[in-house]
Chain A
Amino acid sequence: MASAIPSPRLERRAAPSAVASAVVPFVAVALALVAGGIVLWAAGEPPVAVYRAMLDGAVGSRDGVAETLVKTIPLLLAGLGVAVAFRMRLWNIGAEGQLYLGAVAASGTALYVLPDAPAAVLIPAMILAGMAGGAVWAAVPALLRARLQVNEIITSLMLNYVAILFAEYLVHGPWRDPVGFGFPGTPRFPDAAELPQWGTTRVHLGLAFGLAAAGILWLVLGRTRWGYEIAVAGTNARAARYAGLPTARNILLVMALSGALAGLAGMSEVAGIGHQLQRSFSPGYGYTAIIVAWVGRLHPGGVALVAFLLAGLLVGGDALQMELGLPAAVAPMLQGAILFFLLGGEALARYRVTWRRPTPIPGGPAPVVEPG
C-alpha cells in the first residue's frame, strides 16, 4: 500500500525558525542566480560573464553607483509604503497606482497651482500634494475594506490601471505640452520645482526623503503606541478585536500612510528626474516595491538594503541591454526568481520537512514548545 512508504510532509513549527528566517533571503538570491544562470546558459550566453557585466554596470563605476542610487529612491519609498501596509496584513498591491497619483498631484501643483512660487514653497507643496494624492488613492480600497470587508488586493490592484490610464489621459489631453513635438508629456516644470541633484549625477534629494522615511518609520513601528497597534493587528486580528484596538481606523491610517509613501516616490520621480509628467515614467516601481518589502522582511532597514540591491539589478539589466545586446528582461526575470525562491523558503522557516507520519493532536493547534 502506498501509505506504508514514508513520504515527505510539511510539519508546522511552533514558531518560525530564527536561523531559517535569517538565511532564507540569501539562499533565495543565490538560487535565483543559479536558476537565471540556467536560463542564460540555455539561451547561449555565458552566465558568469553576464552576471559580471551586470555587477559592473550597477556598481562598477561612479556613474553606475549613481544610477543605482537614482533607482533606489522610488523603490525605497514605495517599498516602505508596501511594507507598512503588509505589517498590518493589508495587502496593498496598489503602490504603482498610488505612485502615479502622487506624481500627477505633484505635477499639477508645479504646473497649474503654484507655477510661480519659489522653491522653498513649491517643493514642500509638491511633497504634500504627492503624498496626499497617493494617500487618497490608497484610501479607496482602505475604506472599502474597513467598512464593507471588500478584499483590498483586488481593489488596490485594479486602481493601478485607473491611475496609470488617468495619467496617460492627462499627458495626451488637457496637460499636454503644446510645443512637445507630439511626445506625450506635460510641459517642463518651472525650475523651482526641480529637486536639487548631487554634483553632476542624477542622484537627487529624493534619496534623503527615502532615508528619512525609513528612519521615521522604524521609530514609529517600534516605539509608538500606533506601531504597537499595527503589530498586534497584523499578528493576531482576533486579539486586536478582543483588546478593543481601533482596527477600522488603523486600516484607513495605515493604508493612507502606505499610499502617501508611494505618492512621495512618484513626486520625487517627476521632480527629481523627469521634470515633467511623462507617460509610463515608472517601469513598474510600485510592483517591484512588493518584492522589496517582502525580501526586506517588512523592516525599514531591510527595505532600504533590498531597494538598493534591486535597483542595482535594474541598472545592471540596462547595462546588459546596452553592452551585450541582451534583452532587458533578464533583470525582471531574476527579480521574479528571487521572489519565487523567497516565498518557497518562507515555507521552510515556518514548516519543517519530516519523513515521519506526524502525531496528530486532537483539536489543538501546533504543539507548544517549552522554552529553553
Chain B
Amino acid sequence: MTRDAAPPAVEMRGITKRFGEVVANAGVDFAARSGEVHALVGENGAGKSTLMSVLTGLYRPDTGTVAIDGRPVRFRSPRDAIDAGIGMVHQHFTLVDSLTVAENVLLGRQGQGFRLDTSTVERELDALGERHGLRVDPRARIWQLSVGEQQRVEILRVLHRGARILILDEPTAVLTPREAAGLAAALRGLADEGLCVVFISHKLDEVLALADQVTVLRRGRSVGTVDAAATDRRSLARLMVGRELLPEDRRLTPTAGTPARETVLEVVGLRAEGDRGRPALDGVDLRVGAGESLGIAGVAGNGQRELAEVVTGLRRATAGRVVIGGQDLTNRSPRAVAAAGVAHIPEDRLATGLVGGLDLAANAILRGYRVRPLTRGPLLAGRAIARFTDRLLDANDVQAPGRSTPAGRLSGGNQQKLLLGRELDGRPRLVVAVHPARGVDVGATETIHRLLREQRAAGAATLLISEDLDELLALSDRIAVLFEGRVVGEVESATADHEQLGLLMAGVTGQPGTERAGFDGVPIGLAADG
C-alpha cells in the first residue's frame, strides 16, 4: 500500500441528502483509492444509489464535501462530474439501440463538428477494448449486442471520455455467470492500471471475490469500511442487516394450538422467466394455510416480483403449478385468479394497481364493476357506486377531498389505503401483498398493517413480499427467503434472528455444497472473454 500517502481518488465526507422527510444519506463518509476495486454494499434503501448520485453530480448534497484526488469539488451537473474524470455505468443502460457502438460513444460529446468522425473513434474503441479485455465491434449496432456486450459499451464510453473513477451500479445483476466472470477480470485489469473502480452490489460472494475494500451502508449511514481479504460473508451480512430486529413481543405469534390448517395456496416447482428472458424463478415450493401469513424475504431482484406476478396470473409460469383453494390456477388469467378470491396488492400501486388519471370512484370499482349492485345490465349504477366508494374511503381511513378526485392526486399512503380497501373488500381467500407499506408515512403504515392482520385473523392466507424485515416479522408467521429464484430457507418469525436472515438473504445457506456463489465458481483469473 504505497499509495497510502497520496490523497484518495474519491473522498466524501459527511454527505447528507434528504428527499422530503426521507433521509437517504445521513452524514456518510466514503473514500476510495486509485488502483483499488471498492465495493459498496447494503440493503435496498441503505443509500448506496443516492451516495453515488451525489458523486456523479446527479444530486447536490444538503451538507458534506466531495474531494477528488484531494481537491474539493462542487458538481453542479453530471457534466461537471464527467469533466472531473468520474464515469458511471448504470444498471439500466443508456444506449440508443439503433446507433452503432461508436455513435453511442460520440453522443453528447461536445466539440463535435457537423459530421461525426466515427472512424477515429472506432479505432480508439478497438484499441481500448483490446487493452482492457472489453472487446466489442465499434461498428455493430446496439440492438445486435448481448446485454453483456452492451455493458462493455457503457464501460468503454466512460473510459473513452477519460474517466479515472469508474462507478458501476449492480453490474452483474443483468449478466450471465460467464459474462460476470469476464467483467470481473476486466475490472481488476482497470484497477491494476491505476483506475479507481467502485461497484454497488448485493451479492456478498461477488464482493469478496472481486473487491479490495468494502464499505457497508445501513439505513443511510456508513457502518464501516473493511478490507475484503480480512472479512467473510458472515461478518459482512451482520454489518448489512446488523440492526436490532423487531423485539419478539411485537412479532407475530402463531395462533396457538391451531390444528393443521387447510391449505389455501400451494406452489409446486414453480419456474418463470424475468422480463429479459432470464430465469427468475427456479423451482419454488411454498405452502400457505388459511389464517396463516407467509413472508417472503430477499434482496430485490431475486424473484419476488415474478413470484407475485405468476401467482396472480400476470406472468406465465414455464413449469410448476399454482394451486389456490384446491383449484389449479397455473397460467390462468388475472381475472380467473381474482375470481378465485385472490386479492393482489401490487408492487407499484400507481403503475399497476390504480388508474391515477381516473377518479376515486372509478378506482374503487376496478374489481367489482361487473357485479351487482355496482352494475345494472350494461350500465354502471351511479348511486350504488357512490355509496360503495364512500364506504370504502371511510372504512379504510382514506383522506380525500371527494370521490371525484383523481387517484393520482392522493398521497402515497392514501393511495395504498384505497388500494388495500378495494382488494380486501369481499373476504379474499388469499392476499398477495408486495411491499405494501413502501414509501408511505408512519400512520398509513399502521393502518395498512392493521388491515393485513385483520385479514389473517379472518382466516385469509397471506403471501407477504417485503424487503423490510421488521414488516415481515410483524406480519408473518413464517418467513421464506428467496435467493436467485429459489427458496433457500424458511424460519419461524417468533424465533428468527438477524444473522440467520441476513445470511440467507445473501445466499449463504450454511450447508456445504449448496451455496450458490455469485460467479458460479468460475475462477476469475481464468475467465474468458464472454
Hey, which bits of chain A sit against chain B, CB under 8 A? 1, 3-4, 14-15, 223-226, 228, 231-232, 235-236, 238-239, 241-246, 359-365, 368-372
* One of A225, A242, A245 near B353 (C-beta < 8 A): A242
Contact in complex: A365, B357 (CB < 8 Å): no
**Nearest Cβ on chain A to B523's Cβ, whole angstroms:** 35
Known A242-B346, A242-B353; contact A362-B50, beta-carbon cutoff 8 A: yes
Which chain A residues lie closer than 8 Å to B379 at the CB level? 223-225
How would residues 44 to 84 of chain B score, 1 for a CB under 8 Å from any chain A CB and 0 otherwise?
Answer: 00000110010000110000000000000000110110000
Contact of B369 with A by CB under 8 A = yes
Known A223-B380, A241-B314; contact A362-B49, beta-carbon cutoff 8 A: yes
**Nearest Cβ on chain A to B503's Cβ, whole angstroms:** 27
* CA A369 to CA B353, docked complex, whole Å: 19
Which chain A residues lie closer than 8 Å to B346 at the CB level? 242
Most buried by A among B50, B344, B380: B380
Counting residue pairs across A and B whose Cβ atoms lie within 8 Å, the total is: 108
* CA A363 to CA B44, docked complex, whole Å: 12
Q: In chain A, what residue has the closest Cβ to B375? A: A225
Contact of B370 with A by CB under 8 A = yes
Contact in complex: A244, B355 (CB < 8 Å): no
Known A4-B76, A243-B334; contact A371-B405, beta-carbon cutoff 8 A: yes
Contact of B1 with A by CB under 8 A = no
* One of B50, B79, B400 near A371 (C-beta < 8 A): B400
Known A15-B408, A243-B334; contact A231-B358, beta-carbon cutoff 8 A: yes
Known A236-B355, A360-B58, A362-B19; contact A15-B411, beta-carbon cutoff 8 A: no
Contact in complex: A372, B406 (CB < 8 Å): no
Contact of B387 with A by CB under 8 A = no
**Nearest Cβ on chain A to B350's Cβ, whole angstroms:** 6
Contact in complex: B76, A3 (CB < 8 Å): yes
Contact of B180 with A by CB under 8 A = no
Sample (30) of A-B pairs whose CB atoms are under 8 Å apart: A1-B76, A3-B76, A3-B80, A15-B406, A224-B378, A225-B369, A225-B370, A225-B380, A226-B378, A231-B358, A231-B362, A232-B355, A236-B351, A236-B354, A236-B358, A238-B352, A241-B314, A241-B334, A242-B352, A243-B338, A244-B338, A360-B58, A360-B59, A361-B19, A362-B24, A368-B408, A368-B409, A369-B409, A371-B409, A372-B401
Most buried by A among B314, B337, B355, B411: B355
Which chain B residues lie closer than 8 Å to A238 at the CB level? 351-352
Contact in complex: A243, B357 (CB < 8 Å): no
Contact in complex: A232, B366 (CB < 8 Å): yes
Contact of B132 with A by CB under 8 A = no
* One of A231, A365, A368 near B411 (C-beta < 8 A): A368
* One of A224, A362, A364 near B53 (C-beta < 8 A): A362
Contact of B412 with A by CB under 8 A = yes
**Nearest Cβ on chain A to B366's Cβ, whole angstroms:** 5
* CA A223 to CA B314, docked complex, whole Å: 29
Contact in complex: B357, A235 (CB < 8 Å): yes
**Nearest Cβ on chain B to A219's Cβ, whole angstroms:** 9
**Nearest Cβ on chain B to A265's Cβ, whole angstroms:** 25
Which chain A residues lie closer than 8 Å to B58 at the CB level? 360
Contact of B178 with A by CB under 8 A = no
Which chain B residues lie closer than 8 Å to A244 at the CB level? 313, 333-338
Contact of B367 with A by CB under 8 A = yes
B 341-361 contacts with A by CB, 8 A: 344, 346, 350-358
Which chain B residues lie closer than 8 Å to A239 at the CB level? 351-355, 366
**Nearest Cβ on chain B to A53's Cβ, whole angstroms:** 43
Contact of B194 with A by CB under 8 A = no
Hey, which bits of chain B sit against chain A, CB under 8 A? 19, 24, 49-50, 53, 58-59, 76-77, 79-80, 313-314, 333-338, 344, 346, 350-358, 362, 365-367, 369-370, 375, 378-380, 382, 399-401, 405-406, 408-412, 415, 439
Which chain B residues lie closer than 8 Å to A226 at the CB level? 378
For the complex with contacts A231-B362, A361-B19, 9 further pairs of A-B residues with Cβ separation under 8 Å are A15-B357, A225-B380, A232-B366, A239-B352, A241-B314, A244-B335, A245-B335, A362-B49, A368-B411
Known A225-B370, A225-B379; contact A14-B408, beta-carbon cutoff 8 A: yes
**Nearest Cβ on chain B to A34's Cβ, whole angstroms:** 32
**Nearest Cβ on chain A to B467's Cβ, whole angstroms:** 13
* CA A4 to CA B80, docked complex, whole Å: 11
Contact in complex: A236, B356 (CB < 8 Å): yes
Contact in complex: A364, B380 (CB < 8 Å): no
* CA A241 to CA B309, docked complex, whole Å: 12
**Nearest Cβ on chain B to A125's Cβ, whole angstroms:** 26
**Nearest Cβ on chain A to B344's Cβ, whole angstroms:** 7
* CA A361 to CA B59, docked complex, whole Å: 9
**Nearest Cβ on chain A to B228's Cβ, whole angstroms:** 28
* CA A303 to CA B322, docked complex, whole Å: 48
Q: In chain B, what residue has the closest Cβ to A363? A: B49
Which chain B residues lie closer than 8 Å to A14 at the CB level? 408-409
Which chain A residues lie closer than 8 Å to B367 at the CB level? 243
Contact in complex: B350, A365 (CB < 8 Å): yes
Most buried by B among A223, A226, A232, A364: A232
**Nearest Cβ on chain A to B335's Cβ, whole angstroms:** 3
Contact in complex: B380, A228 (CB < 8 Å): yes
Q: In chain B, what residue has the closest Cβ to A4? A: B76
* CA A246 to CA B335, docked complex, whole Å: 9
* CA A153 to CA B331, docked complex, whole Å: 31
* CA A79 to CA B410, docked complex, whole Å: 34
**Nearest Cβ on chain A to B333's Cβ, whole angstroms:** 6
Contact in complex: A228, B362 (CB < 8 Å): yes
Known A228-B362, A362-B49, A370-B411; contact A242-B380, beta-carbon cutoff 8 A: no
Contact in complex: A3, B370 (CB < 8 Å): no
**Nearest Cβ on chain B to A20's Cβ, whole angstroms:** 15
Contact in complex: B358, A235 (CB < 8 Å): yes
* CA A236 to CA B346, docked complex, whole Å: 14
For the complex of A and B, the 9 pairs showing the least CB-CB separation, nearest first, are A244-B335, A244-B334, A235-B357, A3-B77, A236-B355, A371-B401, A243-B366, A235-B355, A239-B355
**Nearest Cβ on chain B to A369's Cβ, whole angstroms:** 6
* CA A370 to CA B409, docked complex, whole Å: 6
Known A1-B80, A242-B346, A372-B401; contact A224-B380, beta-carbon cutoff 8 A: yes
* CA A244 to CA B411, docked complex, whole Å: 26
Which chain A residues lie closer than 8 Å to B352 at the CB level? 238-239, 242
* CA A232 to CA B367, docked complex, whole Å: 12
Which chain A residues lie closer than 8 Å to B19 at the CB level? 359, 361-362
* CA A243 to CA B77, docked complex, whole Å: 42
* CA A242 to CA B351, docked complex, whole Å: 10
Which chain A residues lie closer than 8 Å to B410 at the CB level? 368, 371
Which chain B residues lie closer than 8 Å to A3 at the CB level? 76-77, 79-80
* CA A314 to CA B305, docked complex, whole Å: 55
* CA A232 to CA B335, docked complex, whole Å: 15
* One of B24, B79, B358, B405 near A232 (C-beta < 8 A): B358
* CA A361 to CA B49, docked complex, whole Å: 12
* CA A110 to CA B305, docked complex, whole Å: 59
Q: In chain A, what residue has the closest Cβ to B79? A: A3
* CA A220 to CA B425, docked complex, whole Å: 28
Which chain B residues lie closer than 8 Å to A232 at the CB level? 355, 358, 362, 366
* CA A224 to CA B370, docked complex, whole Å: 10
**Nearest Cβ on chain B to A235's Cβ, whole angstroms:** 4
**Nearest Cβ on chain B to A6's Cβ, whole angstroms:** 11
Q: In chain B, what residue has the closest Cβ to A371? A: B401
Which chain A residues lie closer than 8 Å to B50 at the CB level? 362
Which chain A residues lie closer than 8 Å to B362 at the CB level? 228, 231-232
